[in-house]
Chains A and B, each alone.
Chain A
Amino acid sequence: MRENKPKVTFKKRKSFLSSDRMMPIFLSLFAGLSVITTVGIVMILITESYDFFKVVPLFDFLTGTQWTPLFAGDQQSFGILPLIVGTFLITAIAITVALPLGLGSAIYLSEYAPQKVRQIVKPILEILAGIPTIVYGFFALTFVTPLIKTLIPETDLFNALSAGIVVGIMIIPMISSLSEDAMMAVPRSLRDAGYALGSTKLEVAMKIVVPASLSGIVSSFVLGISRAVGETMIVSLAAGALPNMSFNPLESVQTLTAYIVSVSSGDTTYGSIPYLTIYSVGITLFVITLVMNIIAGIISRKFREEYQ
């Protein structure tokens, strides 16, 4: 009887070219591409702006208050501060709009809204987040700017206020959904404890939920700021192209991103110093947004309260 038992052998395929051996290597090549992209971005920004900084000293670049790289001769000046001021003016206006509204709607969606309302509102916010920025730019130029001009007639056609408000509207969904995610992660039991003590919803929201999810909320703010700094099309269309050191929101300003767009759509000679400015501006932009994103990551990781 025993001899009749079929002989089963487990044989491992030894071929070196078997798909099981080759696929991880193959896949890792694709995975490496994202690392190469980062290296590529950093290398290109550094090497191209190195040529620029050979001519323009870094100190003058960072502290100069005149940005006129496309002018001729003596008029030419490479101080990036006007672009930085323009960028942060727009960002400040955007955050003033987006921060309270984003946080307010996050609290509403996570603490107050009935399930049915959530199911309607969340997809709408997702649609808002999916609209291309060029469309927001059109909206700023053809709707918000005329509106501001009827309220305050001395407003310039291109102004920081209109662009800033619309950038703010653009980042509301982001702040709202990231903050709401953080609030939803606060365990039900903490809220129940608050209600058991007789708290109102507002007290639970402001004294329990918001403090408990503060790291997520703050990191959503920082990410929102970083998005506003990197936003290009809205500011290109609505804020104009005047790099003046102005803090007046009713005047035209130029941001880092809008400058790159204006040089790219013009006819600057390839390899010239004005051409190389887009890389020096680009690396400034890259460093600012990278630092913000890293800060946001640190805040959400290091300061997170862990609940079970």
Chain B
Amino acid sequence: MNGSTSVSNTSINNNEKTDKQQLKHMMKRKRKNKFFHAVFFISTLFGIAALLLLLGQILIQGLGWLNWDFFNNYSSRKPENSGIKAAMVGTLWMIGITAPLTFIIGVATALFLEEYAKDTWISRVIQTNISNLAGVPSIVYGLLGLTLFVRMLHLGPSILAGALTMTLLVLPIIIVASQEAIRAVPVSQRHASYALGANRWQTIVKVVLPSSFAGILTGSILSLSRAIGETAPLIVIGAVAFIARLPDGLLSKFTAMPIQIYTWSSQPQEEFHHVAGAGIIVLLFMLLAMNALAIFLRNKYQRK
């Protein structure tokens, strides 16, 4: 319209021209839309491609090295003799302690925030605090664990020190997940319980918890899978990589799977990268199993 410069044209001609221009403009906008549709689609594909490449690379590197000996050997200076036994047992010990601790503390905190202290200044302080804690880099938790558990409480670089550090690290995750699950329980159910004469605690135990159990469980499994994969805090508290016996108590030195994988990956010999790849397959398989369990439990306990 504005672009038409010819003054001598009749109005009909003019209209035809503007129609053409408009059509052209519209096609251009449509082409631009199509182009960016492709651009956005490709950037989405990039994430998927990265995941496939990553998994492919790990399988190529590690699958050939994954055999029974790998599960039954301790770490070794020779790549062909290296195994993940001590690391797997160490990880299981650590999770065995972290799981009940995070569950109890996490659910208790969530219950307090949602059922007792809702919309009070206390809950706002704790809430802000939790969201800030969730953003603290994991290595800083390592410094906390090193100073508080390893040095001040004289636990040494032990399983217990590692498990307590991990507990503090994953608490924000399980608290937030449990809060969401508890919040999803309809108020009407609580009212029904009160109307029957139940007090607050009875309502929590008999109504709120059973109803939000699936969500809480899913959250705790997901927070534990975070704990299994964390490496940095364990390095800082001084968990050792080369250890040739199984832990025999809460205070024994230990190694864990991510630490073992880190040590193998940082070896200069190419063969150790294959060992690391095999270790990663085991680690990812463990995480996959946990996530599958979380999905299974969610489906089983989810209220219809």
Question: How many residue pairs, one in A and one in B, have C-beta atoms under 8 Å apart?
Answer: 250
CB-based contact A35/B129 at 8 Å: yes
A137-157 vs B, CB cutoff 8 Å, 1 = contact: the mask equals 111011100000000000000
- Among A28, A121, A261, A286, the residue within 8 A (CB) of B44 is A121
A295 → chain B closest CB, angstroms: 11
> A30 on the interface (CB 8 Å rule)?
yes
CA A28 – CA B199 in complex, angstroms?
A: 18
Say which one of A53-61, A72-80, A225-233, A243-251 lies at the interface with B: A225-233
CB-based contact A108/B44 at 8 Å: yes
Q: Which residue of A lies closest to B125 (CB)?
A: A35
> A82 on the interface (CB 8 Å rule)?
no
Q: Which of B168-224 contact A (CB under 8 A)?
A: 168, 171-172, 175, 199-202, 204, 222
> B18 on the interface (CB 8 Å rule)?
no
> B83 on the interface (CB 8 Å rule)?
no
Q: Which residue of B lies closest to A297 (CB)?
A: B131
B22-37 vs A, CB cutoff 8 Å, 1 = contact: the mask equals 0000000110110011
Interface centre among A27, A45, A109, A231 (most CB of B within 10 A): A27
Q: Which residue of A lies closest to B51 (CB)?
A: A128
Say which one of A63-71, A188-196, A277-285 lies at the interface with B: A277-285
Q: How many B residues touch A, CB cutoff 8 Å?
A: 86
CB-based contact A19/B230 at 8 Å: no
Q: A201-B37, A264-B142 known; A124 and B231 CB under 8 Å?
A: no
Q: Which of A21-57 contact B (CB under 8 A)?
A: 23-24, 26-28, 30-35, 37-38, 40-41, 44-45, 48
CB-based contact B258/A132 at 8 Å: yes
Say which one of B1-9, B64-72, B109-117 lies at the interface with A: B109-117
Q: Which of A249-274 contact B (CB under 8 A)?
A: 257, 260-261, 264-265, 270
- Among B48, B126, B276, the residue within 8 A (CB) of A138 is B276
> A4 on the interface (CB 8 Å rule)?
no
CA A232 – CA B42 in complex, angstroms?
A: 29
CB-based contact B125/A279 at 8 Å: no
> A303 on the interface (CB 8 Å rule)?
no
Q: A200-B33, A201-B37, A257-B232 known; A24 and B116 CB under 8 Å?
A: yes
> B105 on the interface (CB 8 Å rule)?
yes
Q: Which of B205-258 contact A (CB under 8 A)?
A: 222, 225-226, 228-232, 235-236, 238, 258
Q: Which of B98-120 contact A (CB under 8 A)?
A: 104-105, 108-109, 111-113, 116-117
B33 → chain A closest CB, angstroms: 4
Q: Which of B245-300 contact A (CB under 8 A)?
A: 258, 261-262, 265-266, 273, 276-277, 280, 283-284, 287, 291
Q: A108-B43, A134-B231 known; A223 and B135 CB under 8 Å?
A: yes
Residues of A within 8 A of B129 (CB): 34-35, 38
- Among B104, B108, B262, B291, the residue within 8 A (CB) of A137 is B262
Residues of A within 8 A of B202 (CB): 20
CB-based contact A104/B261 at 8 Å: no
CB-based contact A28/B47 at 8 Å: no
B218 → chain A closest CB, angstroms: 12
Interface residues of B, dominant DSSP: helix
Residues of A within 8 A of B265 (CB): 134, 137-138, 141-142, 237
CA A44 – CA B131 in complex, angstroms?
A: 20
CB-based contact B113/A31 at 8 Å: yes
A258 → chain B closest CB, angstroms: 9
CA A124 – CA B42 in complex, angstroms?
A: 15
CB-based contact B231/A105 at 8 Å: no
CB-based contact B135/A130 at 8 Å: no
Q: Which of A154-203 contact B (CB under 8 A)?
A: 169, 172-173, 176, 200-203
Q: Which residue of B lies closest to A238 (CB)?
A: B265
Residues of A within 8 A of B148 (CB): 40, 44
Residues of A within 8 A of B171 (CB): 33-34, 37
CB-based contact A130/B225 at 8 Å: yes
> B53 on the interface (CB 8 Å rule)?
yes
**Which residues of A does B touch, CB under 8 Å?**
19-20, 23-24, 26-28, 30-35, 37-38, 40-41, 44-45, 48, 100-105, 107-109, 111-113, 121, 124-125, 127-128, 130-139, 141-143, 169, 172-173, 176, 200-203, 223, 226, 229-233, 236-237, 257, 260-261, 264-265, 270, 278-279, 282, 285-286, 289-290, 292-294, 297
